[in-house]
Structures are given as structure tokens and as C-alpha cells.
């Protein structure tokens, strides 16, 4: 995204947080022009998103706090609902979720619904770290902060009953071994391997996802 105009939407009900994110992003070099918009709740975020749609002005990056005041009229009850609206309206938007939540079920729900490019616990970062993390995400490197990663990883392993076979399947796929050849390396039938892959994709990605996407997600969640 260097050397182009970038539209960034910051959604947080605390003005100081929004201003801090904006000032830190402005301090980054290499971005020719940045246009910021701020929302403090679901309703103001909804209006900005709809206005962007109406004017055909893509939102390139969105920082979204999970816990923001709801807008029942539009069935937007949290930042997660707003992020889902963003994902549907602007599929190429880089979404960075921000939260103080630590509950695995809440975090996993956000992960599954939004599949954000960035997912950050506010307890994990400070003003010095944020610009570097933001830069990594902008340069197409997904980033989940340690608290988020640990919570989601724990729940995924528990839900999937992750075992050594799953680890072997992903590691071998990562080495370029095709699925049809995996029974030569693992003491499982091809149908069992394909079933495990399908379950993994359904749980942590989308059933239509590629093996490459599955491998990348498992690495990001530190499952391998």
C-alpha cells in the first residue's frame, strides 16, 4: 500500500485510543497520503461504511474495537458485527480487531466470523510496538498477539481433539507431499486423512479453502 492514498477507519469508543492509533500510524514512513475517519459506536461506523459504499470509496484498513456501543436498529451489537459488515462491503479491507477480552469462546467467535488480518489484545501492546505490528499487517503478514493466539490455539485443540496425526498431515503437506500420497508416510487411510483435513478446514477456515491456506493458518495459530 505504499505510495498510494489509503483510507483508514478507526472504530473505538475511547477518543484517546483512536487518537493514539492515528498519531502512531501517521508517524510511519512510506505512505503518500492517509485519510482517517473515526467512529465511536456501531451506528456511526455503519453510517461511514454506507457512505463509503455510496461514494465508491473503498475502506483499505479498519481498526475495530470489539466492545463498542450497539445499534439495535441495524442489528449491530458489537465491533464484531461491524467488522462482518466491513468484510462483506469491502472484501479487500485489512481488518485489525482490538480487544480487552481474554475469553477463548469470544475470541474464537471473532476469529471464525471475521478471519481478521490482525487480532490484537490491548494488554499485549504498547505505543512502541504498535507501529511495527501495524506495518507488518499492512505488508500482508497476518498478526495475532500472544494472548489472542494462546486463547484460540487452546480452544481449537480442545474442539478439534488435535493429535499427532493432524500435526503430521499438516507438516507433510507443508513439505509439498500431495494428499493422495500421505498414506505412504502416515498410518492412516486416504479417506481418514481427507476427513481430518475437511474437519480442520471447516473448523478454522472455510470448507472451500486450499491446502496452502490451511497450512498458513495452522502456522499462524502455532498448531505446528
Chain segment 143-156, per-residue pLDDT in tens: 999 999 888 888 87
pLDDT in tens, 28-87: 755 568 899 999 999 999 999 999 999 999 999 999 999 999 999 999 999 999 999 999
- Helix, strand, or coil (residue 157): helix
φ and ψ of 201, to 5 deg: -65, -40
The whole-model pTM stands at 0.81
Identify the CATH homologous superfamily for domain 5-147. Response regulator (3.40.50.2300)
pLDDT in tens, 64-76: 999 999 999 999 9
Nearest to 12 by CA among 136, 99, 138: 99
Domain segments of the chain: what residues? Answer: 5-147, 161-220
**End-to-end CA distance of the chain, in Å?**
30
Strands 61-65 and 94-99: parallel
Q: How far apart are CA 31 and CA 51, in angstroms?
A: 24
Amino acid at each position: 500500500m505504499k505510495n498510494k492514498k489509503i483510507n483508514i477507519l478507526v472504530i473505538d469508543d475511547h477518543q484517546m485510543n483512536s487518537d493514539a492509533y492515528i498519531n502512531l500510524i501517521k508517524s510511519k514512513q512510506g505512505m503518500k497520503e492517509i485519510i482517517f475517519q473515526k467512529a465511536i459506536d456501531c451506528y456511526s461506523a455503519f453510517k461511514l461504511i454506507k457512505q463509503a459504499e455510496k461514494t465508491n470509496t473503498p475502506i483499505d484498513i479498519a481498526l475495530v474495537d470489539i466492545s463498542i456501543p450497539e445499534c439495535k436498529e441495524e442489528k449491530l451489537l458489537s465491533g464484531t458485527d461491524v467488522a462482518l459488515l466491513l468484510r462483506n462491503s469491502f472484501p479487500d479491507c485489512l481488518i485489525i480487531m482490538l480487544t480487552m477480552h481474554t475469553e477463548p469462546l469470544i475470541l474464537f467467535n471473532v476469529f471464525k466470523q471475521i478471519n481478521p488480518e490482525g487480532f490484537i489484545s490491548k494488554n499485549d501492546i504498547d505505543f512502541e510496538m504498535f507501529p511495527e505490528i501495524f506495518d507488518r499487517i499492512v505488508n500482508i503478514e497476518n498478526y495475532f498477539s500472544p494472548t489472542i493466539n494462546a486463547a484460540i490455539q487452546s480452544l481449537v485443540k480442545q474442539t478439534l481433539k488435535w493429535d499427532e496425526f493432524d500435526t503430521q498431515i499438516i507438516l507433510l503437506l507443508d513439505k509439498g507431499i500431495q494428499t493422495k500420497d500421505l498414506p505412504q508416510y502416515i498410518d492412516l487411510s486416504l479417506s481418514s486423512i481427507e476427513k481430518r483435513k475437511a474437519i480442520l478446514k471447516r473448523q478454522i477456515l472455510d470448507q472451500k479453502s486450499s491446502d496452502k491456506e490451511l497450512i498458513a493458518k495452522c502456522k499462524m495459530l502455532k498448531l505446528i
